[in-house]
Structure 1
Amino acid sequence: MGVSKQQAIENKRAIVEAAEKLFRERGVAAVGLAELTKAAGFTQGGFYNHFKSKDALVAAVLEKAMEDGAALLVAGVNAAKGDTSTPMQRYIAWYLSADHRANIETGCPLTAYAGDIRRLGKEARQAYARGLTWNFDQLANLIDGENPQEKRKKAITLFSQMVGALMLSRAVLEVDSALADEILKDGCQELLGTIRPDAKRSQRTKKRSTR
């Protein structure tokens, strides 16, 4: 008896979700097909009914991850509406938070796959580049100003610093949690000061008043 079209879609989704979890936890190269198919509940033969190769699966995982990351950003922006802080301030504070640092499974995919991406296939790299470009464009829309080029330039700079701080904090968390927290806290304060100079001056004033 054949598998229905809907069941085939669900089977493919199950493989992608199992793969994404393993890829995020351990890196793409460290996960083999045997482990992948076992985690998804399929045989290797069943896997090839849905994907022609591991590279094709990786590309599908990246496509899904970028879509999920886009939804995450949109949800964060919408949640900031009506708040006293701006959407960009809320996004930075969330991105450089201990909660996001711990959320490797469903956090920002642009950080999660940054270490792997250059070694992946062309389709996966293209999906990552599209996701990164979309992210820059959305963040540029959150930045005050009238010059689109300057706004995009600032968005690229801000996001690059956010990704770098998060990656470094995760890298040292298990061996030096104090340093990991320092990276997040100072990185967040500096970036918030970049988009809100008054906040930065206020932090400095508080520090001077406590000396």
Structure 2
Amino acid sequence: MARYAKEHKSVTRQRIIEKAGHRFKQDGIDGSGISTLMSDAGLTNGAFYAHFASKDDLVANVVGEELRAQVARYGTLPPGRPGLEDFVRDYLSPEHRDHPGLGCPSAALLDEIGRCGEDTKQAYTDGARALVEEIAARLAPENPRSARGKAIGLFTMVVGTLQLSRALSDPKFADEVLEQGIENALTFMS
């Protein structure tokens, strides 16, 4: 019985994290109250504190999990530069732009993460570092350290491009920003 309860609590906690990740990226951290987050997970408000000490605790867990999942997805891409090109094209796609709740936490939450507590910033820092290392390893498999600066540049380029495209009300201009972003990123990589 105790084992079932522990497994059930772990599954429930994971469901809260997944649903909160989607909601945060869709509506923002500040725009997502505990009651909405728990409703999304099919739970009552009272169940929240059985899993998290505070909303800040949940945010830090969500940010860490979102970035770990993103790094894991990149690991499934083809090796080297072809995989990196696939990443750029997928990241700067209209589908990613138009569905922030399913996409990258950086493009959706970066401005809010900067105002969060230390635990969330640390979770983000760890995840961003892992993403940069993944990009650097694809840019220079023989010496990833040598490509760290370029990897940081590429990461910031795609995140900023996606954010700008999402902010535009003119669909043609928003698409043009994505298309130019892909071209710029591929040129930057070469």
TM-score normalised over the length of structure 2? 0.89
What pairs up with 1:48-127 in 2 under 5 angstroms?
A: 48-76=49-77, 80-81=78-79, 86-127=82-123
Instruction: Note the residue ranges of structure 1 that are not aligned, 5 or more in a row.
Output: 197-211
49-58 vs 99-108, which moves further: 99-108
> What corresponds to 2:162 in structure 1?
166
Q: Does the 8 A contact of 1:100 with 1:107 survive in 2?
A: yes
Match of 1:192 in 2: 186
What is the distance in 1 between the residues matched to 2:141 and 2:127? 24
Rounded to whole Å, the distance in 2 between the matches of 1:35 and 1:95 is: 28
- The structure where helix makes up a greater share of residues is 2
Q: Report the CA distance between 1:139 and its aligned residue.
A: 0.8
1:207 is matched with: none
- Residues in 2 aligned to 1:14 and 1:147: alpha-carbon distance in whole angstroms: 38
1 CA distance for matches of 2:143 and 2:23? Answer: 42
**Aligned partner letter, 2:185:** L
Verify the 8 A CA contact 1:145 1:151 in the aligned structure 2.
no
Q: Secondary structure at the match of 1:51?
A: coil
The answer to whether the 8 A contact 2:22-2:101 is kept is yes
Q: Is it true that 1:7 corresponds to 2:13 in the alignment?
A: no
- The one-letter code of the counterpart of 2:25 is R
Q: CA RMSD in A?
A: 2.2
User: Could you tell me whether the CA contact under 8 Å between 1:62 and 1:127 is conserved in 2?
Assistant: yes
How far off is 1:116 after superposition? 1.3
Q: Report which stretch shifted further, 106-115 or 62-71.
A: 106-115
Give aligned pairs, total.
189
Segment of structure 1 superposing worse, 116-125 or 90-99: 90-99
Q: 1:31 aligns to what?
A: 32
- One-letter amino acid of the structure 1 residue matched with residue 102 of structure 2: T
Cα offset, 1:125, TM superposition: 0.8
CA–CA distance in structure 2, aligned partners of residues 81 and 141 of structure 1 = 9
Instruction: Note the alpha carbon deviations across 1:154-183, whole angstroms, 9 max, x for none.
Output: 1111111111101100111xx210110010
- How far does residue 25 in structure 1 lie from its aligned partner after superposition? 0.5
- Report the structure number with the largest CA radius of gyration: 1
| Aligned counterpart, 1:183 | 177
- The alpha-carbon distance between structure 1 residues 12 and 179, as it changes in their structure 2 partners (threshold 3 A), is same
Provide, for residues 72-126 of structure 1, a one-character-per-residue CA deviation record: whole Å limited to 9, x for no partner: 21112xxx259xx722222222221222223322322222221210111211110
Higher relative contact order (CA 8 A, sep 6+): 2
Moved more, 42-51 or 100-109: 100-109
Find the aligned partners of 1:114 and 1:37 in 2 and give their Cα distance: 23
Q: Using the aligned pairs only, state the percent identity.
A: 35
Runs of 5+ unmatched residues, structure 2: none
Rate the CA distance shift 1:141–1:52 in 2: closer, same or farther, 3 A.
same
